[in-house]
Amino acid sequence: MENEIEFKHVNKSFYSLKGETNVLKDINFIVKKGEIVAIIGPSGCGKSTILNLISGLTIPDDGKVITNKKVGYMFQKDNLFDWKNVYKNITLGMEIKKLKVDEKRIDELLTKYGLIDFKYHYPKELSGGMRQRVALLRTLVLDPDILLLDEPFSSLDYQTKITVQDDIYKIIKETKKTTILVTHDITEAIAIADTVIVLSKRPSSIKKIYQIDLELNEEKTPLKARNSIKFKDYFNLIYKELDIHE
Amino acid sequence: MNKNLTNQEKYVKDYKRKRLLIHLCQIGLVILFIGTWELFSSVGILDEFLFSKPSAIVKLLIQYIKSKEIFHHVGISLLETLLGLVIGTSLGIIIAILLWFSKTLTKILDPFLVVLNALPKTALAPILIIFAGTGIKGIVVVAISLSLVMTIISALNFFLHVDEDKLKMLKSFKASRIQILTKLVLPSNTKNLLSIIKINIGMSWVGVIVGEFLVSRFGIGYLVVYGGQVFKLDLVMMGVFVLAILAYLMYLIVTLFEKYYKNKR
């Protein structure tokens, strides 16, 4: 399969007057088309930096990040503009890129994801799960090849989190987007991803890469994944690997 | 008596009663204050020459209204204040926007802004009036000087504290600096800019009155300072009274605008 993203010996440091902070050390990995990859690691280990490198918001000090695809970013916070209604929020990216908005297509998407009745509502009037779906649509309408999810579920309460994870997983699978998910939640990583990359503490390097195979008889969804017998094995493996007391 | 009130109706009734009580107390306080003042002046506890009295002030005001003289003074002061407010606020916001574009420029100008902000601008008023002329122009410049620096500093502060994540989101869309300004920085700060305008109303009035104290032959400030010089305390009090009403009305207009803006959302 085609490679969508490739990291080759990537190093990245941040500089301040107090000195250099080495965040990423010799990072190498490949993401294939349509793959869902979760990146997990202790906090402050440079997970988000990897996303910034893929999206071009920052550039590596050494090494290469190879990707020439359109990238869509989704954040921990939905970042909806509360002075714009749902429709205007979804088309924000198109507005900035000065693209023509196909309202019929947006309406179709809104209908599909159960938001059509809220088209002219303001973010304040939506639930946390709905807001997150609007945020995802804002990214999806630009038709990115790669989706970058930066802890998109961590601000939701547990119940909502589970449903939104299912919703968003379905959307990703349907649209066959290559996805990089950054998270600190081990269960979330196993439930959603095909591949889990475990990072070490700062300066982070890749400790291990797991291919997740839950041996499900039916089609995978995050909720069903949690019922798999192999789920807890992966959990224990990754938990040990992360070893926060190290 | 209707005894079948639901809890909701009871709540509303209770709320309305409390609101009425507050309004009554406010009116009562005004009546008490004016009544005592009038009474004490009439019986001689307060020296009428120094403290004037409400009835004399009202009489004087009616006289000024009849001769239409008051409208001339009010008109001039209002014009000066509005000019000072509009120019001071918009110039301040424009400068804040320019500084927002350049971090280096902000850092270079920072100590000067801090000093200018700490300096009591009224101390500059005599110089400013000599520079700008003694007419309306000089007074407007004084009014601008009072609101300008504060507007720059607080507007810039608001602009720089825009939500980092929203900023990153726009950057991920490859938004230009100008797009970030017009799509995020300005719209997310509408409420803050309105509160700057509210503060500047008071500032502009201070500037105008100080300016009129120094040089002028018309305006509320002139009436007050003239009244003081000839020991006509009725005139001073009337000036202050008219000033209070004008300032309140301007504040009310901004508040109404704020409400309209909130409802529109």
- What ipTM did this prediction achieve? 0.83
pLDDT of residue A149: 92
Q: Which domain holds residue B248?
A: 59-264
Is B16's pLDDT higher than 70? Answer: yes
In this structure, the answer to whether residues A41 and A161 fall within a common structural domain is yes
Sequence-separated (6 or more) residues with CB below 8 Å from residue A174: none
Inter-chain contacts counted by CB atoms under 8 A, chains A and B: 42
Query: By CA distance, what is A57's nearest residue in B?
Result: B172
In this structure, the answer to whether residues B21 and B87 fall within a common structural domain is no
pLDDT of residue A7: 92
In this structure, the answer to whether residues B126 and B205 fall within a common structural domain is yes
- Mean pLDDT for all residues in chain A: 88
pLDDT in tens, B101-120: 999 999 999 999 999 999 99
Q: Is position B167 within any domain?
A: yes
In this structure, the answer to whether residues B239 and B109 fall within a common structural domain is yes
Q: Do B166 and A76 touch (CB under 8 A)?
A: no
In this structure, the answer to whether residues B8 and B123 fall within a common structural domain is no
In this structure, the answer to whether residues B115 and B172 fall within a common structural domain is yes
Q: Is A152 exposed, middle or buried (0-12, 13-18, 19+ CB in 10 A)?
A: buried
CB-nearest to A93 from B166, B173, B188 is B173
**Which of these, A96, A28, A88, A191, lies nearest to B175 by C-alpha position?**
A96
- Mean pLDDT for all residues in chain B: 92
Q: Is position B51 within any domain?
A: no
pLDDT in tens, A54-107: 988 889 999 999 987 788 988 888 899 999 999 999 999 999 999 998 899 999
Sequence-separated (6 or more) residues with CB below 8 Å from residue A183: A38, A39, A40, A151, A153, A154, A189
In this structure, the answer to whether residues A119 and A174 fall within a common structural domain is no
State the average pLDDT over residues B145-149: 93
pLDDT of residue A174: 86
Window B:161-180, CB contacts with A under 8 Å: 163, 165-166, 168-175, 179
pLDDT of residue A70: 86
Q: Is position B54 within any domain?
A: no
Q: How many domains are there within chain A?
A: 2
pLDDT in tens, B64-83: 999 999 999 999 999 999 99
Q: Is B124 exposed, middle or buried (0-12, 13-18, 19+ CB in 10 A)?
A: middle
Q: Which domain holds residue A94?
A: 79-144
Residues of A in contact with B187 (CB under 8 A): 81, 83
Query: By CA distance, what is B182's nearest residue in A?
Result: A96
Domain edge (last residue) among A121, A144, A167: A144
What does the DSSP 8-state code read for residue A220?
A: -
Q: Is position A103 within any domain?
A: yes
CATH number of the structural domain spanning residue A170: 3.40.50.300
**Does A180 touch chain B if contact means CB atoms closer than 8 Å?**
no
Q: Is position A187 within any domain?
A: yes
pLDDT of residue B265: 60
In this structure, the answer to whether residues A150 and A230 fall within a common structural domain is yes
What's the rounded Cα separation, in Å, for the pair B90 and B79?
Answer: 16
In this structure, the answer to whether residues B118 and B175 fall within a common structural domain is yes
What is the separation of C-alpha B110 from the centre of its chain, rounded to a whole number of angstroms? 26
pLDDT of residue A245: 56
- How far does A26 lie from chain B, in Å, by closest CA? 25
- How far does B134 lie from chain A, in Å, by closest CA? 45
Q: How many domains are there within chain B?
A: 2
pLDDT in tens, A163-178: 888 888 888 888 888 9
Weakly modelled stretches of chain A, pLDDT under 50: none
In this structure, the answer to whether residues A157 and A39 fall within a common structural domain is yes
Beta strands in A50-164 (DSSP E): 62-66, 71-74, 146-150
Give the model's confidence band at B6: pLDDT under 50 very low, under 70 low, under 90 confident, else very high.
Answer: confident
Q: Is position A57 within any domain?
A: yes
Give the model's confidence band at B2: pLDDT under 50 very low, under 70 low, under 90 confident, else very high.
Answer: low
Q: Is position B52 within any domain?
A: no
**Does B183 touch chain A if contact means CB atoms closer than 8 Å?**
yes
